[in-house]
Structure 1
Amino acid sequence: MWHTLSISWALLVMVFKRRLQYRGDLIIQSLDELLRGVVAIIMLQVYVSRTQSIAGWGAEELLFILGFAMVPLALFHCFCGNLYQLSSHYLIQGNFDRVLLRPMPTFIQVCSDRIAIEDLSGALLGIAVMAYAVSQGAVNDFSLPMLGLLLLMILSSFCIVVAVFMLFAASSFWFEDRVGMVPPVYNLMEFGRWPVAIYHWSVQFLITVLIPFAFIAFYPASLFLEGPSAYAHGWWYAMATPLVALIFLSIAIAVWNRGVGRYHSTGN
């Protein structure tokens, strides 16, 4: 395990050095990622300015949830965004063959082929947004233990994002298609940024049980917010976030390994 971690770290450092050779491009791409986040913030402010609150959640609380969502998603795009290319680049074009020849976990190899450092700017923006929301009174108790809990929730949310897309990317081992299932599923993540009460029960079931995008932002972030009185029981969902991450990550790893086992080269 330690050998794998040391090699993974070496690969990560190498990728960082390679990307820093083109600092101009890196800065422009980082600004593009920041602009996307700013647009999301502006849209949220537009919604709140018209309704004052959404399902009982105020502007500062919704801003905290949005900032929370930005962090795990940015980390996913940075370290695991190459999963989008699994079907078209690796499986259909046969580039997965060289992955199998290396003495490293296939998932780590696929992800480390492209590390998008510029997406880390989105994580920094998310942290800044959460800090601003806290300064505006969105969070009543933000002690050191709560900060540690926040880090745990962000890590758990990141693992859930990775698990979901690892699972759907692995479906390409059975159903080869240049687009794959990852892009359509990606659009569902937007549902996780908003209070689940605004959705029909079928959508709530979808993003809570089947594809747990509600655990990426709303449920874990709500643990730190007072929220409407009708949501007093919601901390159960929030505290379940690490467990959901563990369950889905275990399923995703098992499906990925099963898919790798049935992979056949394009020449066969």
Structure 2
Amino acid sequence: MLYFRLFFQYAGQYMKTKLQYRGDLIVGLLSDLLMQAVNLVFILVVFGHTQTLQGWGREEVIFMYGFFLVPFAIFSTFFNIWDFNDRYIIKGEMDRILTRPIHSLFQVILERMDLESLSGAITGIIIMIYAGSGLNLSFYWYDIFLFIIMVMGGALVYGGIFVSLASIGFWSDSKSSIMPLMYNIGNYGRYPINIYNRVIRFLLTWVLPFAFVGVYPASYFLGKSEWYMYSFLTPVMGLVFFTLAVLIWNQGVKRYRGAGN
């Protein structure tokens, strides 16, 4: 209960701060929308030169991209920790975090919360509705619950990977460029997995399972029965990778000796 109360207090303060600078808030939302539009245009350009992509039609890939945007938006909102090493380890703000009787990762998540990134989820749902209408997809009443579960699973996959990467800072106090690299690799999860070679498919499924953020869960709603097993593994992979990330984080916190050492 304490954690929920803290979350809403932080969220309230966050919105008060953002609304003081409405121009910056609007510019941020527009820039996010522009980036999503550019990615969508790229898909349209690709299908301007081909009818299918390894058996996937244009609307199917667009639907997949729309699905990807929803868990990615949740991840971007609550796991905005790309600068964790620089801000909390090198500059010593982790010392402040550890003086409070709340789990350190939860505090970092609250401090780095970026609520306007949730707008990406709305964009993703709109894209899914557009593509789904073109495909004449039909859904059952329980699909909304499966959608929520798979979205949360995909967000936890992303969160688990990046929390694990951030935890490396507890063992190394030097700056690293691995975060931007991993963001770029994560983009592969928004496209059909079978367009890649076997090594990349294995990497995106079991090592850095970004395919569970977009292609695998979206396959269920697209009726791709050959991928159903992977679709239903999405929440499992999310829980496994996020649990592993928290364990790595906790070990890193135990090792941490402060900015002055």
User: TM-score range, shorter-chain basis?
Assistant: over 0.9
Write the distance in 2 (CA, Å) between the matches of 1:70 and 1:143.
22
Identity between Structure 1 and Structure 2 (%) = 36
Any residues of structure 2 matched to 1:93-108 within 5 Å, and which? Answer: 93-108=91-106
> Does 2:104 match 1:111?
no
Q: Within 2, Cα distance between the matches of 1:144 and 1:31?
A: 34
**RMSD of aligned Cα (Å):** 1.3
Say which SS state the counterpart of residue 20 (structure 2) adopts: helix
Which residue number in structure 1 is paired with residue 148 of structure 2? 151
Corresponding residue for residue 193 of structure 2 = 196
Q: Indicate if the aligned counterparts of 1:169 and 1:180 stay in contact, CA closer than 8 A.
A: no
TM-score (norm 2): 0.96
Q: For residue 230 of structure 2, what is the aligned residue in structure 1?
A: 237
State how 1:209-248 maps to structure 2 within 5 Å: 209-227=206-224, 232-248=225-241
- Distance apart, 1:177 and its partner CA: 2.4
Would you say the 8 A contact 2:67–2:124 is kept in 1? yes
1:215/1:238 contact within 8 Å kept: yes
Displacement of 1:180 in angstroms is: 5.0
How far is the alpha carbon of 1:125 from its aligned partner? 0.8
Q: Is the 8 A contact 1:15 1:114 kept in 2?
A: no
- What does the per-residue CA deviation read over 1:148-194, in whole Å, with 9 as the maximum and x for residues that have no partner? 21111111111111111111111111122223532211111111111
1:122-201 to structure 2, matched below 5 A, reads: 122-137=120-135, 139=137, 141-201=138-198
Asked whether the equivalents of residues 71 and 151 of structure 2 are also in contact (C-alpha less than 8 Å), the reply is yes
**2:243 is aligned with 1:250:** yes
Per-residue Cα deviation, 1:135-159 (whole angstroms, up to 9, x for no partner) = 11263x2122112211111111111
Q: Structure 2: any 5+ residue segments left out of the alignment?
A: none
Tell me the amino acid that sits aligned with residue 101 of structure 1. T
One-letter amino acid of the structure 2 residue matched with residue 209 of structure 1: W
Which position in structure 2 is the counterpart of 1:89?
87
Provide the C-alpha distance between the structure 2 equivalents of 1:138 and 1:182, rounded to a whole number of angstroms. Answer: 39
Choose 248-257 or 117-126, whichever is displaced more. Answer: 117-126
Residues 95 and 258 in structure 2, CA contact (< 8 A), matched pair in contact too: yes
Q: CA deviation at 1:86?
A: 1.0
1:262 correspondence with 2:255: yes
- Provide the C-alpha distance between the structure 1 equivalents of 2:97 and 2:112, rounded to a whole number of angstroms: 14
Secondary structure of the 1:136 match is helix
Provide structure 1 residue ranges, at least 5 long, that are not aligned to the other structure.
none
Q: Give, as a single letter, the amino acid of the residue that structure 1 aligns with 2:129.
A: A
Contact 1:64 1:133 (C-alpha < 8 Å) held by counterparts: yes
1:18 — aligned with what? 17
Aligned pair count? 261
* SS in structure 2 of the partner of residue 240 of structure 1: helix
Cα deviations across residues 107-136 of structure 1 (Å, max 9, x unaligned)? 121122132233222221111101111111
How high is the TM-score relative to the length of structure 1? 0.93
Counterparts of 1:183 and 1:138, CA distance in 2: 38
What amino acid is aligned across from residue 38 of structure 1 in structure 2? A
Is 1:33–1:118's contact at 8 Å kept on the other side of the alignment? no
8 Å contact from structure 2 (residues 95, 259) kept in 1:
no
Is the 2:167–2:252 Cα contact (8 Å) retained in structure 1?
Answer: yes
Native 8 Å contact 2:75 2:159 kept in 1: yes
Task: State the partner residue of 1:68.
Answer: 67
Asked whether the 8 Å contact 2:78–2:113 carries over to 1, the reply is yes
| Counterpart Cα distance in 2 of 1:66 and 1:85 | 26
Conserved? CA contact 2:219–2:231, under 8 Å:
yes
